[in-house]
Amino acid sequence: MKIAETIKAVRDLVGAACEQNKKIGLVPTMGALHIGHISLVERAVKECGFVVVSIYVNPTQFGPGEDFEKYPRPLEQDLEICKKEGVDVVFNPSTDEMYSAENLTWVDVEKLTEPLCGQLRPGHFRGVTTVCAKLFNIVAPDVAYFGHKDAQQSIVIRRMVADLNMPLEIVVCPTVREADGLAVSSRNKYLTEQQRKDATFIYKSLQKCREMVDSGVTDVDKIIEKMRKILNEPNSMQVEYVSIVGAQTLEQMEKICGKVLAAVAVKIGNARLIDNILMDTSKD
């Protein structure tokens, strides 16, 4: 496995793989790799002849007062994981390498970035789409792999790729969960033992939502009220949003219909955690 710290180095390595007609897969990450990331890497390794994992904590997607500085960066451990998984190149650039001091260009996807996390983290998605556009231009992958855990992110990136005619496929992989349902996240590390227990109420609220939808409840307000009640059970939890939106448009809905995304964001202590489930009621 090679480690590339510069754009030129990763381009040379990918270029050589392209000459051998290998399918190039990219898994963009911020490191602190866990089984959620590994599921994306495994899929990439299975489907592509040459896999690049980028490890880069992108400053432009963090807002003031967010956890950019203290975001975990266990690089040696991450490299071990990538090696074991059969990754060909880890791209681990510095911020000087990624952003020139004269940078004036940003990629901004409208509308889809307004609700949910967009409302609470102004500028977050601009940072995400800009860094992903840069990574796609640098690595030129045939396929890039994202997790459904960050559902809004993958919807926004799909839109960007379609709108800007970027020649790659976006694959979205299922959310990997702990045995008790908590979505695996690098930020779970911030939780104390009690907060970790409290965090299970996030998935419990989403399960309740699925249960109500499955039993034919269509009144969104009623479902959200029940979900909030569950989320408010542990004292440590501060609910940022509980939303039920159209899975393609991310627009609020009053009645459950078609493909629906239920999404939750909470703060527990120092951690901001998000989770969601997708429900397809059009099949009923």
**Annotated catalytic sites, by residue?**
37
Residue nearest to ligand AMP (CB): 147
Check: CB of residue 118 under 8 Å from CB of residue 124.
yes
Site for ligand AMP contains 150 (CB under 6 A): yes
Q: Does residue 185 interact with ligand AMP by CB under 6 A? A: yes
Nearer to ligand AMP, 40 or 202 (CB): 40
Among 4, 39, 115, 279, binds ligand AMP (CB under 6 A): 39
| Minimum distance, C-beta of residue 173 to ligand AMP, in the bound complex (Å) | 6
**Residue choice 98, 173, 261, 277 for contact with ligand AMP (CB under 6 A):** 173
The C-alpha atoms of residue 272 and residue 268 are separated, in whole angstroms, by 6
Q: In the β-sheet with 143-147, what is the strand arrangement from edge to edge?
A: 2-4, 89-91, 50-55, 24-29, 143-147, 169-173
The amino acid at residue 280 is: D
Beta-carbon contacts of residue 219 (< 8 Å; ≥ 6 apart):
254, 255, 256
SS3 content of the chain, % helix, strand, coil (to 5): 45, 20, 35
Q: With CA atoms as reference, report the closest residue to 81 among 59, 57, 55.
A: 55
Q: Among the candidate windows 30-38, 88-96, 214-222, 235-243, which touches ligand AMP by CB under 6 A?
A: 30-38
Q: Is 186 in the site for ligand AMP (CB under 6 A)?
A: yes
The two structure tokens encoding residue 53: 């994992």
30 lies in the binding site for ligand AMP (CB under 6 A) = yes
DSSP state of 242: E
DSSP string of 95-128, one letter each residue: HHHHS-TT--------STTSSTHHHHSTTHHHHH
Choice from 184, 217, 247, 278 touching ligand AMP (CB under 6 A): 184
Q: Are 71 and 91 in contact (CB under 8 A)?
A: no
Contacting ligand AMP (CB under 6 A), which of 125, 136, 146, 190?
146
As a whole number of angstroms, the distance between CA 120 and CA 109 comes to 16
Q: Residue from 78, 97, 147, 155 that binds ligand AMP (CB under 6 A)?
A: 147
Of the candidate spans 36-44, 99-107, 130-138, 234-242, the one that interacts with ligand AMP by CB under 6 A turns out to be 36-44
Among 54, 92, 152, 175, binds ligand AMP (CB under 6 A): 175
Rule CB under 6 A: say whether 40 interacts with ligand AMP.
Answer: yes
Stretch that binds ligand AMP, among 14-22, 67-75, 143-151, 252-260 (CB under 6 A): 143-151
Which residues make up the interface to ligand AMP (CB under 6 A)?
29-30, 36-37, 39-40, 146-147, 149-150, 173, 175-176, 183-186
